[in-house]
Structure 1
Amino acid sequence: MFPAEIFSGCPSPGEREVFARLKDSSNTPDWIVLHSLDIAHHVRRVSGEADFVVIIPTRGVLCLEVKAYRRIHRNEAGWLYGSEQIPDSRGPFRQASEAMHSIRNRLIRKRPDLAHILFWSAVVLPYIDFKIPSNEWHDWQVIDAAHFRQRPLPESIENVLKNAREFLSTCESARWFNAGLPTLTPKQAKAIAQELRPSFEIFESTKVRRDRWDKEVRRYTEEQFASLDAMQANSRVLFTGPAGTGKTLLAIESARRAHSGGERCLFVCFNRLLGRWLQEEMAPLGETMTTSTFHSFLLSLAGCVPQGEGVSTSFWEEELPERAIEALVERDPQFTPFDTLIIDEAQDLLRANYLDVLDLLLRGGLASGRWRLFGDLEKQAIYSGSIPNPVALLQQRTGSVPLFSLRVNCRNSPRISTLVHLLGGLAPNYSRVLRPDNGIEPELKYYGSSAEQEAIFLQVLESWYGEGFGGGEIVVLSPRADRTSLAAHVAKEPWRSRLRPCAESTGGQISYASIHAFKGLEASAVVVTDIEHLTGDAAVDLFYVAVTRALHRLTILVHESARPDIIRALTGQGAVPNLNSSGEPSW
């Protein structure tokens, strides 16, 4: 059967039944059946179609026209099927005959040696008895309800070809037909099928496939907007959920809605790279939308510039918030608070002194103002000094806080999501993963030395470039700082020139960053390097952040010393990796 399964959108119940009977027949092992064969060069029309073309070795080729109606009427205007009001001037027998002649003419132009093969046509009427004689058709050309129900369909088809052969053998005008010539061989039957419906394989390009996947991610994320609608009546909401549940895009949508309502909105996050991207996204909204990292905004309030790169943690966590509060209270009493506050990466900003600043920035303060907070309070509080119970701290300042839990993954593929659950320690797991399975496994590759890791790393990049990934679609993440990571020490060209820190890379270059710095962002293809152990909550949480950045492709490079950690993690979930010869697990 070509195709092997009937098209799901086939509207004809009769065609479905004919297809099923032919497919399920046990007495037709060498038959070839083409369903819904388009005819580009039709003898009467611009194009046409044959419902079924049945190719039978030793018998011939039969074109079937199926009319699955419970009422057929013919008058001087033509044929009327079922409740149709527009008559068909040709009728089913001529329709089948023209399809057959079109197919035969095309075939013998390319294969003159097949001109002697028997071609004929018939009409299948599975729901009505049709006993009307006519000079326009032979009664044995009809497979009506009586024949359809009382005998196997292959038997009826063979009977049509048998009668056609007998008719042509005695028909003086059919001089082209010679019953004495060899009948259709199995090899010729395959050649006819190949000529009529040639086999070919055309692959979806990697770029088209990734574009389709990206649109899927965007569509599934936008489905999460229903959570914003559900909480619209609440002035203050904390949205919580693990990585991949669409928090950042929900924050963006919240900010856009606030802007469209005429509100002055402050939209802040923690990470510098995420803040830069958010500023680009929100720039078209104009001056009433202020988008920044939290600390950059505090610098602008305090009017100070940190000196040098080695600024202490205490400056960011203690001194800078104090200066910002001083500027708001003492030096700028005319400061106009914002109407709405949107915070992404809330898990990193729920600190008492940070909340003091935010309270002054919002009309009505945190207790009475309008705000939306988005954060992963389970696994992404990866910075030292994070508050153990940030929700309790927030409730102390604001009273009862409505919480909305996001548990549906709309970013990662199902296989990456499974890896997040098994190795990233996500518990409870996602309630659902919206994206369909793309059939691509995340790869886990082990190395024993720095040189071996670099060799594997470059092989991965070479492979992804070969698949059509551009440099701008690939991100390399490491638990180490940029200057000590694998990517920073690659010396081999052209990869050395193609690799750049995220903060410096242009659109076509491969970006690399620490896992900390890339939190909140995502990329089509992610390589995670320098994984030397997977023990302790901090290491597991960092690993979780890294692997959830990948949209489509994920490869993780792990030192041999961490192999026991990987096995223990999987064993704890009831699965042990089946390591193949390349050191990759079959999940």
Structure 2
Amino acid sequence: MKVIPNVPYNNDSFAEQQVFEALKAVNTEYNCVAFHSVMLPNHAYKRIGEADFVIVSRYGVFVLEVKGGKVSQKDGKWVTKTINGVFEISDPFKQGNSALHGLHEKITAYVDLEQERLPLGYGVIFPDVLWDRDGAEWESEIVCDSRYMHQFEHWLTSFFEYWHKRPANSKFLSDNDVSNIIDYLRPDFDFIQPLFAHVENVNNLSVKLTEEQYHYVDMAMDNKRIICSGGAGTGKTFLAAELCRRFIAQGKTVLLACHSSWLRHYLTTLIPSEKLIITTISGLSVTMRREDIDCFDILVVDEGQDVLNIKDLEHLNGVLKDGFNNGQWYFFHDINNQSNILTEFDSNAMTWLKDQNNPAIFKLNINCRNTSNILLKIQSSLACDLGKPALIEGPEVTEFFGDRDILSKELSRLLEELKQSELDKGSITILSAFRKRKSLLSLLEADEVKGIIELDDYKVKTYPFTDITFAEIANFKGLENDVIILLDLVDPLYLTKNDTNSLHYVGMSRAKAKLYCFWDNSDLI
């Protein structure tokens, strides 16, 4: 069943989230839509009321009230007990009935129906308890408890049939009536979810380390040498950071090494600890002299594909206590479509690393950065594996096609739209295959690009950013932001087997919540 909006409102109600998912899983052969959290200005006894769910179908219009936790009633007072405490609640049956009449008044006043009478009904869902009480105010057919949550579609069908047998509900709504009611409810109660709300939802629901990664952290603590691989967004950096925190707490001297100075500064914002040494390979010697350190107890390498060459590995081997062969080290890498962007990948170096005293081999399979829509777009466009989605669906990827003149006009319009929105400007990063002065951004007027900060390895220290930022794709590898605008790349559809898709892979996978792609097809026209 289609549910509007396509993700549940974040109201801290796990019970409503359960019902939301149950409704989405229902297969319907007719026009049937559910609305979550419908506001009712004409509520019977409240100035403004709310229906948890409203279903519009050929059977009519139905209100579902949801009450989670352990529910009880005594002397007319209803109470729910949850992990957060004990709370007095409204009588859900009276609540559903009154919400239904408020909704009926609104619909019949504003919608011209073919059906003379509007079929109506209400139900109450207790997803966390068994409901086996009879009462004068309700029939068992309108109650769904924890038993029926596992066969929700069957219960819903019986619920519809129960109300349909009533004389006032005996006639089905026409498809036209159903569509008109849905169209009426949608603009009143389902305004298009703004981008800032999508971003907020993603950030609220995303997990920095999934249950799988926490499991890997625990396993890593039991292994002295690990090579961990995973696609972009599978949590390699956050896993590396968690290991560093744990080893620091044990009093170990820990080196977190990477190739990019941008990534180094970004990592310092993630792990603000004076006890952790974070440095690039090129700056390692200077850092050790400054910190007066001869060797490290533990080595952690992030974005390891950038240091997979014999020279860099030998350098690290010399600063690790007992070296790679007998020392303690954790190597995180992704050679999936992003090799050779900053350095040249050497397969012999990986072979050498795997020969160092039987390191454990881990692979991360859950993507905890990208929404499923972004993930699906990357995987379908580039035929690469970034793991299984752990986040919500999120907004669709928006693509623009054409020559630079057409794209610059679209970019101008988009930037104006984003600047006028309630979206935090620091959550937007523009990525290009070129420097700013050669990118599509250079075709815009000066006032249009005013306030857009071109990042460098020093300005990365200001993460999280406060303004719209710009960077070359290669430099932004290992970093992320909520909204990414990708410029100056050809449509992946036109890439040949001889073309590298590394910049596409890195650029697209930086987006957490929303991705805009400006595909420059100038050379194809």
TM range (shorter): 0.5 to 0.7
Q: Is 1:271 aligned with 2:233? A: no
Q: Distance in 2 between the 1:404 and 1:471 partners?
A: 37
Would the alpha carbon gap of residues 538 and 367 (structure 1) be closer, same or farther in structure 2, given more than 3 Å must change? farther
Q: Is 1:502 aligned with 2:502? A: no
2:418 match: 464
SS of 1:494 mapped into structure 2? helix
Structure 2 letter corresponding to 1:476:
I
Counterparts of residues 219-368 of structure 1 (less than 5 Å): 219=208, 221=210, 223-283=212-272, 285-286=273-274, 288-301=275-288, 335-368=293-326
SS of 1:373 mapped into structure 2? strand
Q: Is 1:414 aligned with 2:376? A: no
Post-superposition CA distance 1:473-524 (Å, at most 9, x none)? 22222223x2553156345132232233212767333322222111111122
SS of 2:282 mapped into structure 1? helix
RMSD: 5.7
Q: Deviation of residue 123 (structure 1)?
A: 13
Q: Deviation of residue 543 (structure 1)?
A: 1.9
Q: Distance in 2 between the 1:40 and 1:201 partners?
A: 17
Q: Is 1:377 aligned with 2:366? A: no
2:510 match: 549
Structure 1 letter corresponding to 2:285:
L
Identify the structure with bigger relative contact order (alpha carbons < 8 Å, sequence gap 6+): 2
SS of 1:464 mapped into structure 2? helix
Q: Deviation of residue 144 (structure 1)?
A: 11
SS of 1:475 mapped into structure 2? strand
Would the alpha carbon gap of residues 142 and 158 (structure 1) be closer, same or farther in structure 2, given more than 3 Å must change? farther
Counterparts of residues 186-205 of structure 1 (less than 5 Å): 200-201=189-190, 204-205=193-194
- Asked if the contact 1:471–1:508 (Cα under 8 Å) also holds between the matched residues in 2, the reply is yes
- Asked if the contact 1:486–1:530 (Cα under 8 Å) also holds between the matched residues in 2, the reply is no
2:360 match: 402
1:435 match: 391
Post-superposition CA distance 1:43-102 (Å, at most 9, x none)? 89xx999x99xxxxxxxxxx99x9xxxxxxxxxxxxxxxx9894559xxxxx98xx88x9
Structure 2 letter corresponding to 1:528:
L
Q: Distance in 1 between the 2:168 and 2:288 partners?
A: 92
- Asked if the contact 2:141–2:162 (Cα under 8 Å) also holds between the matched residues in 1, the reply is no
Structure 2 letter corresponding to 1:338:
F
- Asked if the contact 2:371–2:389 (Cα under 8 Å) also holds between the matched residues in 1, the reply is yes
Would the alpha carbon gap of residues 40 and 48 (structure 1) be closer, same or farther in structure 2, given more than 3 Å must change? farther
Would the alpha carbon gap of residues 157 and 293 (structure 1) be closer, same or farther in structure 2, given more than 3 Å must change? same
Q: Deviation of residue 390 (structure 1)?
A: 3.2
Q: Distance in 1 between the 2:370 and 2:417 partners?
A: 21
The aligned length equals 426
Q: Distance in 2 between the 1:142 and 1:253 partners?
A: 53
Q: Is 1:215 aligned with 2:204? A: yes
Structure 1 residue ranges without an equivalent (≥5): 11-15, 26-34, 53-62, 67-82, 90-94, 112-121, 131-135, 161-197, 304-331, 564-582
- Asked if the contact 2:431–2:484 (Cα under 8 Å) also holds between the matched residues in 1, the reply is no
- Asked if the contact 1:350–1:393 (Cα under 8 Å) also holds between the matched residues in 2, the reply is no
Moved more, 334-343 or 227-236: 334-343
- Asked if the contact 1:487–1:512 (Cα under 8 Å) also holds between the matched residues in 2, the reply is no
- Asked if the contact 1:221–1:411 (Cα under 8 Å) also holds between the matched residues in 2, the reply is no
Structure 1 letter corresponding to 2:346:
I
* Residue from 496, 501, 507 that aligns with 1:540: 501
Q: Deviation of residue 546 (structure 1)?
A: 1.5
SS of 1:295 mapped into structure 2? coil
Structure with higher Rg: it is 1
Would the alpha carbon gap of residues 335 and 154 (structure 1) be closer, same or farther in structure 2, given more than 3 Å must change? closer
Q: Deviation of residue 425 (structure 1)?
A: 4.1
SS of 1:513 mapped into structure 2? strand
Would the alpha carbon gap of residues 9 and 499 (structure 1) be closer, same or farther in structure 2, given more than 3 Å must change? closer
- TM-score under structure 1 normalisation? 0.57
Would the alpha carbon gap of residues 252 and 526 (structure 1) be closer, same or farther in structure 2, given more than 3 Å must change? farther
Q: Deviation of residue 282 (structure 1)?
A: 1.9
2:520 match: 558
- Asked if the contact 2:263–2:479 (Cα under 8 Å) also holds between the matched residues in 1, the reply is yes
Would the alpha carbon gap of residues 296 and 488 (structure 1) be closer, same or farther in structure 2, given more than 3 Å must change? farther
Q: Distance in 1 between the 2:328 and 2:217 partners?
A: 14
Would the alpha carbon gap of residues 401 and 459 (structure 1) be closer, same or farther in structure 2, given more than 3 Å must change? same
Counterparts of residues 14-25 of structure 1 (less than 5 Å): none
1:569 match: none
Post-superposition CA distance 1:288-309 (Å, at most 9, x none)? 2111222222344578xxxxxx
Counterparts of residues 152-163 of structure 1 (less than 5 Å): 157-158=166-167
Would the alpha carbon gap of residues 408 and 41 (structure 1) be closer, same or farther in structure 2, given more than 3 Å must change? closer
SS of 1:207 mapped into structure 2? helix
Counterparts of residues 122-201 of structure 1 (less than 5 Å): 157-158=166-167, 200-201=189-190
2:401 match: 445
- TM-score under structure 2 normalisation? 0.63
Q: Deviation of residue 372 (structure 1)?
A: 1.0
Q: Distance in 2 between the 1:278 and 1:339 partners?
A: 20
* Residue from 524, 529, 532 that aligns with 2:488: 529
Post-superposition CA distance 1:321-365 (Å, at most 9, x none)? xxxxxxxxxxx9x84421111110111112222222212222222
Counterparts of residues 479-490 of structure 1 (less than 5 Å): 479-480=433-434, 482=435, 484-486=437-439, 489-490=442-443
- Asked if the contact 2:233–2:386 (Cα under 8 Å) also holds between the matched residues in 1, the reply is no
Q: Distance in 2 between the 1:144 and 1:500 partners?
A: 61
Q: Distance in 1 between the 2:381 and 2:471 partners?
A: 21
Structure 1 letter corresponding to 2:417:
S
SS of 1:229 mapped into structure 2? helix
Would the alpha carbon gap of residues 43 and 206 (structure 1) be closer, same or farther in structure 2, given more than 3 Å must change? closer
Q: Deviation of residue 460 (structure 1)?
A: 2.9
1:77 match: none
